[in-house]
Amino acid sequence: MKAKFDIGEPVVVRAAYPPGHIRTPYYIRGKKGIIADMVGFYRNPEELAQGIKDPPKQPLYRVRFEQKTAWPDYDGPKTDTLDIDIYEHWLEPDSRSSGGNI
Summarised one tens digit per residue, pLDDT across range 23-44 is: 899 999 999 999 999 999 998 8
Q: What is the mean pLDDT of residues 57-69?
A: 96
Going from the C-alpha of 62 to that of each of 51, 54, 75, the distances in angstroms are 26, 23, 24
Q: 10 Å Cβ neighbour count for 52?
A: 12
Q: In the prediction, which pLDDT does 31 show?
A: 96
Mean pLDDT, range 77-102, rounded to an integer = 84
Predicted TM-score (pTM) of this structure? 0.86
Q: Is the pLDDT of residue 82 over 90?
A: yes
Q: Is 8 left (phi over 0), alpha (psi -120 to 50) or beta?
A: left
